[in-house]
């Protein structure tokens, strides 16, 4: 049976439990002050089960949180995906959201790139460009053999100072699988080729591994291919 608490949380929980025990030992009734703090730490690192939509060539939210305004912008340069603008769907996680991150779609991890940076409020657009981040380039293959490249980026926030990713280059990933965690409020960006319409709205609250962000099979694949490769399937010059 899987633990309801993410493994990254156990060291912090152990510290809270130890300090709480010392309070009871040396301060008697004042030890009760630490009980809600310890419970809050356990609650923050909760890792609930999720039911990921089965079938289809679809993208799910990698994080719990609120959808920020969409943007059309190039993916992180360190991934080597080029400077073609892509559709960016951003999800802001406050301290009350589940912070376990999940893989948005099936595919192969082509590249990983960590970049140190600043710690602006993660709800600001400049956080995507300037904050510390861990980016992953995933290549997903559809039932018809077509390939689409997308990126998912973990971004540190004003309070979040630790990004954890369990992905490795060359790894085969499955939609909805756990792959990392960010502590104490942060942001996840998903970059999709233009021509793939988001299925969520700005301001909507989403759940990691459950809420659908996009349906790749229903996308305008000609436009997506043009955005990714600069050509279309019907282009006789290719």
Q: Which two tokens stand for residue 86?
A: 């892509």
186 is catalytic: yes
Whole-number Å distance between alpha carbons of 186 and 123: 8
Closest residue by Cα to residue 152 from 227, 85, 102, 196? 102
Question: Of 90, 128, 140, 186, which is the active-site residue?
Answer: 186
Relative to beta strand 163-165, strand 178-182 is antiparallel
Provide the CB-side half-sphere exposure for 234 (13 A, CA): 3
Q: Which two tokens stand for residue 128?
A: 């995507």
Neighbours of 64 (CB within 10 A): 25
**Catalytic residue IDs:** 186
């Amino acid at each position: 049976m899987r633990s309801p608490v993410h493994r990254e949380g156990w060291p912090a929980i152990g510290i809270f439990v130890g300090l709480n025990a010392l309070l009871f030992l040396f301060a008697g009734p004042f030890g009760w002050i630490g009980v809600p703090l310890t419970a809050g730490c356990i609650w923050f690192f909760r890792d609930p089960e999720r039911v990921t939509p089965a079938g289809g060539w679809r993208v799910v939210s990698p994080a719990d949180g609120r959808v920020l305004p969409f943007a059309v912008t190039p993916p992180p340069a360190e991934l080597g995906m080029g400077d073609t603008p892509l559709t960016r769907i951003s999800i802001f996680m406050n301290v009350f959201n589940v912070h376990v991150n999940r893989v948005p779609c099936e595919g192969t991890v082509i590249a990983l790139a960590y970049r140190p940076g600043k710690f602006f409020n993660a709800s600001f657009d400049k956080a995507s460009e300037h904050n510390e981040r861990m980016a992953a380039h995933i290549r997903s293959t559809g039932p018809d053999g077509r390939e689409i490249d997308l990126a998912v980026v973990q971004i540190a926030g004003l309070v979040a100072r630790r990004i954890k990713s369990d992905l490795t280059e060359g790894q085969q990933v499955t939609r909805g699988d756990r792959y990392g965690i960010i502590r104490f409020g942060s942001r996840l960006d998903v970059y999709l080729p233009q021509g793939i319409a988001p299925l969520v709205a700005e301001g909507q609250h989403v759940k990691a591994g459950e809420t659908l962000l996009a349906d790749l099979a229903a996308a305008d694949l000609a436009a997506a291919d043009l955005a990714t490769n600069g050509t279309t399937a019907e282009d006789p010059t290719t």
